[in-house]
Chains A and B, each alone.
Chain A
Amino acid sequence: MNGHGIKAIYQFEMARWFRTLGQSLFTPVLSTALYFIVFGSAIGGRMGEVDGVSYAAFIVPGLIMLSILTESLSNASFGIYFPRFTGTIYEVLSAPLSPFDIVTGYVGAAATKSMIIGCVILVTARLFVDYSVQYPLVMILFLALTAVTFCLFGFILGIWADGFEKLQIVPMLVIMPLTFLGGTFYSISMLPEFWQKVTLFNPVVYLISGFRWSFFGTADVAIGVSLGAISLILLVCLAAIWWIFKTGYRLKT
């Protein structure tokens, strides 16, 4: 392992982020705050409780997940796409870094950013909504697992993409719908039975459900199933990255 190398990538990526910290934090915090105002306060006041939780509180875990997923994807994909785009990737490729080192540096930095954003939103939400977290350790574990997994996914995206549009399309076209349909704003049990079955093919359901369980102790699917699902996605991403470095896909000619 090249510790200095991992640290160099990590610090470089974090420094880039901190330089624009205002923007980096402001956008996700603002958009989440808007959701809280519209869905939590304005509409939520007229909604009953869901699974014994006030509607405003009910949507908090899902909205945090939404931010974590989109931020992880965009940060991690941009982090590796940008050096490919400018050509500075030559240095990383010619350095004594193993695939593990490279992924740890880039994905570690991106996941750290996601975690920071997640925590900031968590605190911001508390300004609008009254809620408490029943299982903080499980929450942190879930947050970390999700951030790492989707940063890995973002890394793959950043290597696959051959233009800036593709970097934006996937979060917009895949993550947003899956998150909205994954129970951010409703409990799966509110759906007709057929759609309940269909929804179970949406991986984001398991993320939101598990995350919500850590807040309120209730969820659409058992917490074990959620953990299993996120672990499975993690493994798939790791396998894809292993293949990328083995074949040199889009990195080496």
Chain B
Amino acid sequence: MSRPVPPNTQPIISIKDISKTYKSGVKALKPINLDIHKGEIFALLGPNGAGKTTLISIICGIVTPSSGCVTADGHDIIRDYRAARRAIGLVPQELHTDAFERVIDSVKLSRGLFGYGPNPAHIEKVLRDLSLWDKRTAKIQELSGGMKRRLMIAKALSHEPKILFLDEPTAGVDVELRQDMWEMVRKLRESGVTIILTTHYIEEAEEMADRVGVISKGELVLVDEKAALMRKLGKKQLTLHLREAISAVPEGLNGYSLELSGDGSALTYTFDGQADESGIPDLLKRLGEIGLDFKDLNTEQSSLEDIFVSLVREQRP
């Protein structure tokens, strides 16, 4: 699924020393440096209040940074804001809609605001792709939450942006539609759109992203290709299902980090997936020697979620 990105391509977004301290004194972002490559899907992960929305809002011109600069599509977002913003589509986290407007008028408005003349064919395509075409003449207040979310995406796509920010795009969208949405995001990527998404659903990042950035307390604690990240940080576990339950880990196995399940029927061995020597052959040999019999075994690799949780936990004091 992931696609290696040529390292020497010009970044489509380049973030240099961006920091933000709100008037209230909240230090939402410590100086952040990050390059987003053209055509990738970049997932920004982080707990509530980490600064994800702040970072996106700065790039989109809604929040003024306290320091640093950003270029988008090669244009400085402040000095050359018109060119930079025309390249960007934003789906904000909150559902902000004009309750009394019709769906299609709202999407047409967005296209106009971004400086493009009418293009009914494109608007129709966007609405159809998001299963909103049948609702085009409905008032926005008549839409369900998930439909409103899709309308926000339609608005962001109305001006054919090269860069799309999705701030928690699938919050409140049902499972089936979420699949559709991922499909749509993939198609957008195929057509050359760069996508930056934030999410709390780790599975989303795991399924979609080429690269992952983890942000915690305003600091970018890690940026890596998803596959590499999973390989590097992923722990592996070997679980042995014993033929007969035991009450404690036998003394003969003291050298290994083993955990016995509550009912005594399974032993779990945790090892570093990156190490040359997993230690498994040794362990199995040792089991034979002490006469511990098992009926089945399986290995598991930790998910991005586990990685994420352990990273963020480290950050907490």
Q: Do A and B actually bind?
A: yes
Residues of A within 8 A of B (CB): 2-5, 7-9, 11-12, 15-16, 19, 83, 86-88, 90-98, 248, 252-253
Nearest neighbor of A252 in chain B, beta-carbon distance: B64
The reply to whether A252 and B62 contact each other, CB–CB distance below 8 Å, is yes
Set of chain A residues within 8 Å of B90, measured between Cβ atoms: 90-91, 94
**Which residues, 73 to 91 on B, are CB-close (under 8 Å) to A?**
81-86, 88, 90
The reply to whether B60 and A88 contact each other, CB–CB distance below 8 Å, is no
Please report the number of residue pairs spanning A and B whose Cβ atoms sit closer than 8 angstroms: 79
The reply to whether A95 and B98 contact each other, CB–CB distance below 8 Å, is no
The reply to whether B88 and A94 contact each other, CB–CB distance below 8 Å, is yes
The 8 closest A-B pairs by CB, nearest first: A8-B112, A87-B96, A95-B113, A96-B82, A96-B85, A94-B60, A2-B115, A88-B96
Set of chain A residues within 8 Å of B273, measured between Cβ atoms: none
The reply to whether B81 and A86 contact each other, CB–CB distance below 8 Å, is no
- Size range of the chain B interface in the assembly: 35 or more
* Contact A253-B112, Cβ < 8 Å, known A90-B96, A94-B85: no
Nearest neighbor of A3 in chain B, beta-carbon distance: B115
For residue B35, CB closer than 8 A to chain A, the reply is: no
The reply to whether B115 and A94 contact each other, CB–CB distance below 8 Å, is no
Set of chain B residues within 8 Å of A95, measured between Cβ atoms: 85, 113-115
- 30 residue pairs of the A-B complex, CB under 8 angstroms, read A4-B114, A4-B116, A4-B117, A5-B114, A8-B112, A8-B113, A9-B113, A12-B105, A15-B105, A16-B100, A86-B98, A87-B94, A90-B92, A90-B96, A91-B96, A91-B109, A91-B113, A92-B113, A93-B61, A93-B62, A94-B60, A94-B62, A94-B88, A95-B114, A95-B115, A96-B82, A96-B85, A96-B86, A248-B64, A253-B64
Residues of B within 8 A of A (CB): 22-23, 60-64, 81-86, 88, 90, 92, 94, 96-101, 105, 108-117, 155
Instruction: Give the CA-CA distance A143 to B117 in the complex, in Å.
Output: 32
Instruction: Give the CA-CA distance A3 to B99 in the complex, in Å.
Output: 26
Most chain B CB within 10 A, of A19, A91, A92, A253, is at A91
Closest chain-B Cβ to A88's Cβ sits at a distance in Å of: 5
Most chain A CB within 10 A, of B60, B61, B64, B112, is at B112
Set of chain A residues within 8 Å of B100, measured between Cβ atoms: 16, 19
Closest chain-B Cβ to A65's Cβ sits at a distance in Å of: 31
The reply to whether B113 and A86 contact each other, CB–CB distance below 8 Å, is no
Set of chain A residues within 8 Å of B155, measured between Cβ atoms: 91
The reply to whether B113 and A88 contact each other, CB–CB distance below 8 Å, is no
Instruction: Give the CA-CA distance A4 to B109 in the complex, in Å.
Output: 10
Most chain A CB within 10 A, of B61, B97, B109, is at B109
Nearest neighbor of A89 in chain B, beta-carbon distance: B96
Instruction: Give the CA-CA distance A83 to B85 in the complex, in Å.
Output: 20
Instruction: Give the CA-CA distance A4 to B60 in the complex, in Å.
Output: 19
The reply to whether A7 and B96 contact each other, CB–CB distance below 8 Å, is no
Most chain B CB within 10 A, of A7, A87, A253, is at A253
Instruction: Give the CA-CA distance A91 to B92 in the complex, in Å.
Output: 9
Set of chain A residues within 8 Å of B82, measured between Cβ atoms: 2, 96, 98
Most chain B CB within 10 A, of A7, A8, A19, A98, is at A8
Set of chain A residues within 8 Å of B109, measured between Cβ atoms: 8, 12, 91
Set of chain A residues within 8 Å of B86, measured between Cβ atoms: 96
Instruction: Give the CA-CA distance A5 to B109 in the complex, in Å.
Output: 8
Instruction: Give the CA-CA distance A88 to B92 in the complex, in Å.
Output: 10
Nearest neighbor of B102 in chain A, beta-carbon distance: A15
